[in-house]
Every structure is written in C-alpha cells, then in structure tokens.
Amino acid sequence: MKQRPAGIDLAALSKLAPELAETFVSLASDIALVVDADGVIHKVALGGGPPLAPGSDDWVGRPWADTVTGETRAKVEELLREAGLSGISRRREVNHTSPGGVEIPISYAAVRLGVDGPVLAVGRDLRAITGIQQQFVEAQQEIEREYWKHRQAESRYRVLFQVATDAVLVVNAESLRIVDANNAASSLFDIALDRLIGMDTMSTIERASRPAVGELLATARSSGMGGEIRARFAGRRASARISATPFRSADGMLLLLRVRAVDSGVDAADANSTLVRLVACTPDAVVVTDTSGRIQMANPAFIELAQFADENQARNRPLAELIGAELGELIALARSRGIAAGRTMALRGLRGRTVALDVSAALLTDDDQECIGLTMRAREGAAAPGEPRRQAGAELAAAIEALTGKLGEVAMPELLARVAEQAEHFFVHAALELADRDRQAAARMLGLSTEQLEKRLRNEAEPSGKNGAAGGTASS
C-alpha cells in the first residue's frame, strides 16, 4: 500500500499537470517537467527566454534520470522519492546533458499531485549564477596568485638585501667567541675586523639584552634548531634582529649569527619599497646559489655584469661557468666555516667581457635547506668601461714618443714597422672591447676576416719578441 502524503491532497490537480507546468514556467521558473510514477517524463514546458537545452523536447518518453549526468542521477531519484513520501521535495541541483556535451545546471523542486498523480518538477536555470560564481572563483584565484607573486618577490628581495648587507658572525658554540666575521659586522659594531675576531660575543651586546641572547645561543646549541630575537648592542640605540643557526664543521659545533638593524619607526610597506630600490640600485652584484653552485636568484647588478638578458636566463645556471672551478672551493669553505672572506676572481660574461671581482660567500640556512649568498664587488683599480682604450691609447702615444727618440739610431723603415706593430695591437684590442669580445664583429670593424684576426691574436700570444705583424696593414 502506498503511504498517503501528509498535508493538502492535490489529486484534483493531477489532470491539470500539463497546464500547471506551462503556468509555472510563465510565472516563476525556467523549466517544468511532468513525470509519472515510474519517473518517465510526459511533458516539458520551457520559459519564454532562450532555449534552455537543445533537444529537450526529446526528453518526453525518457526516464528523467536518463537526461542528467551520472553524478547527479541520484539527486533525481531523491527528488522523486521525497515527493512520493511527503508530497513535496527539497530543492536540489542537477546537471542535464546536451548534444554538444555542455552540462546545464538546473535547481529543481518537485511536488506530487495526489497519491497516484504525477510529479510536477519546477526548475531554475543556474547557468548565469554558475558563470558569476566561476568568475568570482577565477578573480579570487588571480588575487591569490598576485598576492603570492608579490610575497615571493618581497622574500626574494629581502634575501638578496640580507646577503648584501647583513652582519654575519661565526661563533664557537662552547666559548661563544667570534671566530670569523664579515665586513658588514665590522661596520655594524664599529670595530676593526681583526679586533672583532676573538672577542666574546656577549661583550658586544647591551647588558639588558644579554640574558635573552644567551638563551638564544644556548637553545640553538642544545636543540640544533635555529631561532631569532630582537636585542640591542652595546653603545647603540637602534635594536637589531639576531638569528642563530647551528652547524657543524671540522672545528666542532659553530653558530652562524646574522644581524640586521631594525628601525621601528619605518612603516612595513615603506621598508619593502626601500628594500626593492636598494637591491635594484646597489652596485654590488648579489647572487644566491644552492650548495652545488646553481644560481637561484640574483640582483640587477649581477645580471648586467654577467651579461644575461634577465634573471630567468640566469636561474639554475651553474655560476662556475662564469667564474671557474675555484668557486667550488669558496662554496665549500662557506659551508664549513659559515663565511668565506673576499677572494679575487675573474667573472667572464656571456658575451666575453671579463671583470676582476672581490667575491665573498656566506652560508644561508632555512630550516633544513642550505644555500650560499655571494656578494661581488669590482676590484679596486679595475678599469671602468672605456678605460682600457684610453689607457692603451696613452701607451701607444708613449711608444711612438719613445721610438722618436731612436731617430738617428734606427733606420726609418724599421721605426715605421715598429709603430705599425704597436698601432695594430692597439686597434685590434680596441675593436675587441667595442664588440664585447665578439671576434666576428671585431673583425668586421677592422676590415679583416675572422681567420686573419684569429691569426694576429695567436701571433701576439707567441713568446717571440714580436707580434708577428710588424709592417702588416689592416687590410692584409
């Protein structure tokens, strides 16, 4: 026996189900279905707007559940079950299929017209709402992407800035004496580097901050975990952030302290903006690599120095390709000692320009991740762009002047041959500099073939007293 539904008996309306369907769609819905007791559709009524679903007329005679996607078929069965038990169902969202493969979301409520009468299912088209929801989700995702892109850029600049400016101290974990430090630490404490090494770390800390710093160092030593606090240094008003990270070396347990001054009066947004400008404008090249020496991030000064197009071209490239195998020794020293003081190295850019640099390295730790921060400064006395030509030009003039003093001692043809030799050397190297060491471009400037230029350079490299081109001409 069928359970008689509670509430008003709508059996009298069962014969009017098709008319009711048309009435509902004209007043307050987009679609109405008349479904028999077996779940088969007998009538499809559509609103006056654009066609809801191409081919919906073909639903007549088919089970309602067969017109929806497999994922929402159970919802159709629930609509029919609830209407059968209580006379009316809760509203549920189902997705109809269409010939083009597009799913059409419809929100249905169902009512049974009498115990033995048909079910009238009235639906609202959710495509507009779904589109708005999708736009909202996409906008939210874009905001999140931009947020994380900004956070990553901010973090990147902060790391680069800290590599370039942070004071770094390597401290013996037992005695707490400073065993090594960088130039930034010397500047921060206003103590000469040779005097700073060997000092008790606690003697540089203001008395009121010593207990907290002592606890930081003791915790790092005993737990093997890093930490960070704010403290004040002796004789200084500004506070500083001190991070302590333990690491082992051949000399035992050491603590790597990174110190950076904190100005509490600077707004965080202003500080980040200032940070970006400082990293972008600093003349020192700053690079962060992984422990194998592959570039992870770099500032504009390094990108220009190494002659990369942008940072993306530099990322994941071995820095040793530009500096050489001695970079590995510097990184190994930084990993074992915490920092490696400045060493003179030659960096060769992608287009052949070679620059002498003072390179320093420091160990960076982030939880279990290790990386190496390197700062590179042009060696004092290194020529600026254009300076080699001016210097070579002065040398050429001096050479001609010296040869003039040989008049009367050396015959004219030999004097001219020597002048030609000096001039050729000058013009060849000036062209190479102008062409950023591109030999094909330099050869075109000189009116030579690349093979002729190569031959002259080989002759210069030979340990004979001459360059092999005395009396040669630019067109030979």
**pLDDT (tens digit per residue) in 242-265:** 888 888 777 678 888 888 776 544
Asked if 439 contacts 453 with a C-beta cutoff of 8 angstroms, the reply is yes
In angstroms, the CA 404 to CA 436 distance is 34
Helical H runs in 166-267?
A: 183-189, 193-196, 210-223
Q: What is the pLDDT averaged over residues 140-154?
A: 71
Residue 200's pLDDT is: 92
Q: What is the pLDDT of residue 204?
A: 86
Give dist(CA 241, CA 238) in Å, integer.
10
Asked whether residue 435 carries a pLDDT value surpassing 80, the answer given is no
Those residues with Cβ within 8 angstroms of residue 333's Cβ, 6 or more apart along the chain or in another chain: 340, 361
For the cut 50, the answer to whether the pLDDT of residue 470 exceeds it is no
Residue 7 has pLDDT above 60, yes or no: no
Give 212-225 pLDDT, tens digit per residue: 999 999 998 888 88
| Chain segment 354-390, per-residue pLDDT in tens | 888 888 888 887 555 788 888 888 765 444 444 455 5
On the question of pLDDT at 197 being above 70, the answer is yes
Among 143-152, 207-216, 273-282, the minimum mean pLDDT is found in 273-282
In one-letter notation, the amino acid at residue 427 is F
Q: What is the chain's percent helix, strand, coil content, to nearest 5? A: 45, 25, 30
Is residue 335 within 8 Å of residue 309, measured between CB atoms?
Answer: no
- Tens-place pLDDT, residues 71-86: 999 999 999 998 888 8
Place of tokens 């017109």: 67
Amino acid in the structure at residue 309: A
Q: What is the pLDDT of residue 383?
A: 45
Distance of CA 315 to the CA centre of its chain: 9
DSSP string for residues in 115-142: SSS-EEEEEEE-HHHHHHHHHHHHHHHH
CB 125 within 8 A of CB 25: no
The pLDDT assigned to 199 comes to 92
Average pLDDT over residues 179-198: 84
117 vs 22 pLDDT, higher one: 117
pLDDT band at 13 (very low <50, low <70, confident <90, very high): low
pLDDT at 424: 80
How far is the C-alpha of 369 from the C-alpha of 321, rounded, in Å? 24
What pLDDT shows up at residue 395?
Answer: 58
pLDDT confidence bin for 177, thresholds 50/70/90:
very high
Task: Quickly tell me which residue has 């493969």 as its tokens.
Answer: 101
In this prediction, residues 326-350 reach a mean pLDDT of: 83
In which band, very low, low, confident or very high, does the pLDDT at 294 lie, cut at 50, 70 and 90? very high
Q: What is the mean pLDDT of residues 259-280?
A: 55
Beta-carbon neighbour count of residue 259 at 10 Å? 20
DSSP 20: H
At residue 32, the pLDDT reads 85
pTM listed for this prediction: 0.44
The tens digit of pLDDT for each residue in 31-69 reads 888 889 889 988 888 876 656 666 677 888 899 998 888
Is the pLDDT at 26 greater than 70? The verdict is no
Closest CA to 98 of 45, 48, 42, 58: 58
Q: For residue 258, what pLDDT is reported? A: 85
Residue 7 or 122, more confident = 122
Say what the pLDDT of residue 385 is: 43
Q: Residue 464 above 60 pLDDT? A: no
192 pLDDT tier (thresholds 50, 70, 90): confident
> By mean pLDDT, which of 88-92, 103-107, 162-166, 219-223 is the weakest?
162-166
Question: What would the pLDDT profile of 401-432 be if each residue is shown by its tens digit?
Answer: 666 767 777 777 787 777 777 778 777 877 77
**Mean pLDDT, range 283-295, rounded to an integer:** 87
Residue 292 has pLDDT above 60, yes or no: yes
Please give the residue that has the higher pLDDT: either 349 or 395. 349
